Chains A and B, each alone.
Chain A
Amino acid sequence: MQNLHTTPLIKNDARLFLVRLGKIFSNLSLFLLILCLCGALSFVLTALIILVGIIITIVTLGTIFVIAPNFFNVIIQATDITANISAFFFDNFYIFAITAIIGAVLSLVLLRFDNLEKHKVRTILSAIIIITTIIAIVVFSLGVIK
Chain B
Amino acid sequence: MRTLKIKLTGTGSKIIPKIVVDERAVNLKKNEFGSYETTVKTEKQEVDIFLFRELELKSKLWWLYAIISFIVSIFGIFEPPYDRKCIIIDCHFKVSLNEANEIKFKLNSLSPQGKAVNIETNCDYSEITNELKIDKNAKLRWRILLIIKIIVWIGIAITFGYLISKAL
Residues of A within 8 A of B (CB): 1-2, 5-6, 8-10, 12-13, 16-17, 20-21, 23-25, 27-28, 31, 115-118
Contacts and interface: CB of A to CB of B under 8 A. Distances in A.
Interface stretch (B21-29, B100-108, B109-117, B152-160): B21-29
B21 to A, nearest CB: 10
A5 B52 contact: yes
B54 interface: yes
Interface of B: 14, 16, 18, 20, 23, 25, 27-28, 30, 36, 50, 52, 54, 56, 58-62, 65, 68-69, 72-74, 78-80, 88, 90, 92, 128-129
Contacts of B88: 2
A1 B130 CA distance: 12
B78 A31 contact: yes
Dominant secondary structure of chain B at its interface with chain A: mixed
Contact of B78 (A1, A8, A17, A27): A27
A19 to B, nearest CB: 9
A8 B52 CA distance: 13
B25 A16 contact: no
14 contacts: A2-B88, A2-B90, A5-B20, A6-B54, A8-B25, A9-B18, A9-B54, A10-B59, A13-B60, A17-B56, A25-B72, A27-B73, A116-B16, A118-B30
A6 B52 contact: yes
B26 to A, nearest CB: 11
A16 B73 contact: no
B80 A24 contact: yes
Contacts of A12: 18, 54
Contacts of B25: 8-9
A28 B52 CA distance: 31
Contact of B73 (A1, A17, A28, A117): A28
B73 A24 contact: yes
Contacts of A116: 16, 28, 30, 36
Given A5-B23, A9-B18, A24-B73, A16 B78 contact: no
Given A5-B52, A12-B54, A20 B65 contact: yes
B72 A21 contact: yes
Contacts of B61: 13, 17
Contacts of A20: 56, 65, 69, 79-80
Contacts of B58: 6, 13
A118 B68 CA distance: 24
Contact of B72 (A9, A24, A115, A118): A24
Given A9-B54, A10-B60, A20-B79, 15 more contacts: A1-B92, A2-B88, A2-B90, A8-B25, A12-B18, A13-B60, A13-B61, A20-B69, A21-B68, A21-B72, A24-B72, A24-B73, A24-B79, A28-B74, A31-B78
B30 A21 contact: no
Among the interface residues A1, A2, A27, which one has the most CB atoms of the partner chain B within 10 A? Answer: A2
